[in-house]
Amino acid sequence: MSLTLNLPTLESAASSRSVVEPYRLCGAPLPILARPFSENRIALSAAHVVVDPLAAGQPGGASAIDWERTLHYRRFLLEQGLGIAEAMDTAQRGMGLDWPTALKLIQHTLEHTRDIKGAMVFSGCGTDQLAPEDTRNLDDVLRAYDEQHQAIGKLGGRIILMASRALARVAKGPEDYRRVYGNVLADAQEPVILHWLGDMFDPALHGYWGTTQFEAALETCLEIIHEHEDKIDGIKLSLLDKDKEITLRRRLPASVKMYTGDDFNYPELIQGDEQGYSHALLGIFDAIAPAASQALTALERGNVSRYNELLAPTLPLARLIFSAPTQYYKTGVVFLAWLNGHQDHFVMLNGHQAMRPLAYFCEIFRLADQAGLLSDPDRAVIRMRQLLQIHGVAA
């Protein structure tokens, strides 16, 4: 099969005149290698869900999941030594994945991965069963957190304490955040991972921690961490700003881990510096799992040059996938899963496959090829041509 096809350029997306150019695949696909779990750098991949495209239902209705393919993908990640951050925003939590289905997803993942030695699974605990507009006070927020916390705990799940849209809506200042987080953490049976999610990922979280100023928000967050240090495993920061992450990392108690959520700067942050390093809890690891897994192996062995050789080509891809509007990055993640044969269709919850332009997908295709992340180039070309034909482009 010819590995050359005609692709619209990314620049043409903003132009009145389309520019279509031939592209020939040039990347060498990375092998899929088994890897044991390691404490050197804990690496959690937030994982996407595979939709059942034949299920009856309307957009915005109950989530229709292809459980077999969804769980198969989690095993694919785990077998490469990547842990799972379950039912997070990569799984379209709050953007198509409702709480009842999220709980079922957590249950299925925990049940179907117990046979994998050392498998690490943390699960998202939030307040998304409570609509922000229906939230009257902090007690409503606490009840919502408690419902999810107890439900996940009954399954034996470890907790990622997600940011709350409802809390952001009703909190009047930092003290309200201290009260809510203090109460939730007091009930934790095992140390949890906090998740500080920026408003580029979710505009409803604007002003989280009771302020729009990073320095003031940092102080509130650190006060909560220091006060409840024994209940906190670590914190994930998703602000796409490496300097802010390093600032927080250097002020954490020694027992509290920094989990990078910076999908723009993860190689540098995971490698670290003379004052410390970050573990990882990343949505991009779903899309670049073979490169991430093998790079972490290289880092463990002290082969920093190989670590950077593997991850450097993934950065342009990650920065494109997570480009603004950032909350639609899941579309790029699922697109790559389709190209790589992990699912037979490119359909997402709430029709989110339509939330990016054709030129975005074409550039993802190019960059994934150049990073060695198209596992079967022939299959990827066939599927890319199908997408092009839907858009009226002769490939």
- Domain spans, the chain: 4-28+320-390, 43-312
What integer pLDDT is reported at residue 17 of this predicted model? 62
Mean pLDDT of 127-135: 97
**What are 136's two structure tokens?**
């009257």
Q: ∠ CA 378-356-84 to the nearest 5 degrees?
A: 70
pLDDT band, residue 2 (cuts 50/70/90): confident
User: Are 240 and 326 a contacting pair, CB within 8 Å?
Assistant: yes
Compute the residue count for the chain: 395
SS3 205: helix
pLDDT in tens, 146-166: 999 999 999 999 999 999 999
The Cα–Cα gap between 360 and 344 comes to 20
Mean pLDDT of 317-345: 98
Identity at 40, one-letter amino acid code: N
Which value, to the nearest 10 degrees, does the dihedral of the CA atoms of residues 207, 210, 216, 217 take? -70
The pairing of strands 4-8 and 20-24 is antiparallel
- Look at residue 13 and tell me whether its pLDDT is greater than 50: no
- Look at residue 1 and tell me whether its pLDDT is greater than 70: no
SS3 395: coil
* Mean pLDDT score of the chain: 95
pLDDT in tens, 77-91: 999 999 999 999 999
What integer pLDDT is reported at residue 144 of this predicted model? 98
Alpha carbon 254 to chain centroid, angstroms: 26
Comparing 12-21, 271-280, 310-319, the range with the smallest average pLDDT is 12-21
CATH of region 43-312 = 3.20.20.70
pLDDT in tens, 38-67: 989 999 999 999 999 988 566 666 679 999
Helices and strands in the chain: count of H runs, count of E runs = 15, 10
Sign of the CA dihedral running 20, 24, 26, 30: positive
Identity at 211, one-letter amino acid code: T
Beta strands in the chain (DSSP E): 4-8, 20-24, 43-46, 83-86, 121-125, 158-161, 192-197, 232-238, 257-260, 279-282
Q: Above pLDDT 70, what percent of the chain?
A: 95
pLDDT in tens, 239-271: 999 999 999 999 999 999 999 999 999 999 999
Instruction: Please compute Rg for the chain using Cα positions.
Output: 21
Q: What is the pTM of this model?
A: 0.95
**What are 298's two structure tokens?**
């290289």
User: Are 34 and 119 a contacting pair, CB within 8 Å?
Assistant: no
Beta strands in 133-256 (DSSP E): 158-161, 192-197, 232-238
Residues near 327 by beta carbon (within 8 Å), at least 6 away in sequence: 89, 95, 200, 201, 202, 203
